[in-house]
Amino acid sequence: MAETIENPILVRDVETRSILTKSTLPVGGYSVNPYVGCTHGCKYCYASFMKRFTGHSEPWGTFLDVKHWPVIRNPQKYKGQRIVIGSVTDGYLPQEEQFQNTRRLLEQLQDSGAKLLICTKSDLVVRDIDLLQKMEKVTVSWSINTLDENFKNDMDKAVSIRRRLDAMKRVYDAGIRTVCFIAPVFPGITDFEAIFQRVKDQCDLVWLENLNLRGSFKQDILGYIQKMRPELVPLYHAIYNQGDRSYFHELEAKAEKLANEYNCPFVDNELPYGRAKPGHPVIVDYFYHEEVRGTENTGTRNRKAYGI
């Protein structure tokens, strides 16, 4: 098929037999990725491992395959199922404004009765508020791990934190359940309490997830810390080379204390679907993905297996 070079992202069309696949994520259900590849260029991207399945030789973040799929003929088969849009890409990449794959997907799922979760770093999602309001169970999650635009710019090419926060408020005010996904938490850098104070009145849930450096990007991140935050080198060495979990255990305790102060539920698995009491979002502790794997996709952490 024809290929085009776009700023300087390589964009091409690909055909796929189905747009929905059974999910291996802890939250279960189905995954939908309207694109292959991601142009946000996050330095900590766990999804970069997907490159080996794409046939691309270009670096991850420099290509985008636009998927074309057969129309979903029987959306009702997904009734009650969780459908995650954006497990290894962002459905609202800048290119979505042109190709509109995610909007097309939402149109096809309008009457499905599925529990939809949209994961994004974009404000383009506000374009689709009209469709989201018509769906019974929708959650929109924004990844925000800093309020420092300079650090954000060092880590990704997505829209500013300010634009993400503005979009979150617009979606929240439109009556749609929203999440502030504080992820990944960078030890010594991510100010969880400051982010909570900023978002508590415009989201229903706050999710927490630690920085996982098991990917090939580990040395890139550690190199960044060495250069930009050398005072944190001992902490990162303890966590990521020696397996010391004490920093995150202390952060969990701080999160629980903050939840108590603001009368917010603090849980290690998501509560049944619903809106939180305004100003009192549910704080969900998703630290350590390995603790929620192998637990029948309930999302509940298997703490006993890890001595917790």
Q: Where are the domains of the chain?
A: 3-212+245-306
Query: Which pTM does this prediction carry?
Result: 0.89
Pairing relationship of beta strands 30-32 and 20-22 according to DSSP bridges: antiparallel
The reported pLDDT for the residue numbered 303 is: 42
Contact between 154 and 228 (Cβ < 8 Å): yes
CATH number of 3-212+245-306: 3.20.20
CA–CA separation, 262 and 43 (whole Å): 33
The reported pLDDT for the residue numbered 269 is: 76
What are the average pLDDT values for consecutive 10-residue runs of the chain, which has 308 residues?
A: 54 92 75 92 77 67 90 93 92 97 97 95 98 95 98 97 98 98 97 97 96 88 97 97 94 95 90 86 79 42 38
CB atoms under 10 Å from CB of 179, counted, come to 25
The reported pLDDT for the residue numbered 299 is: 41
The reported pLDDT for the residue numbered 47 is: 63
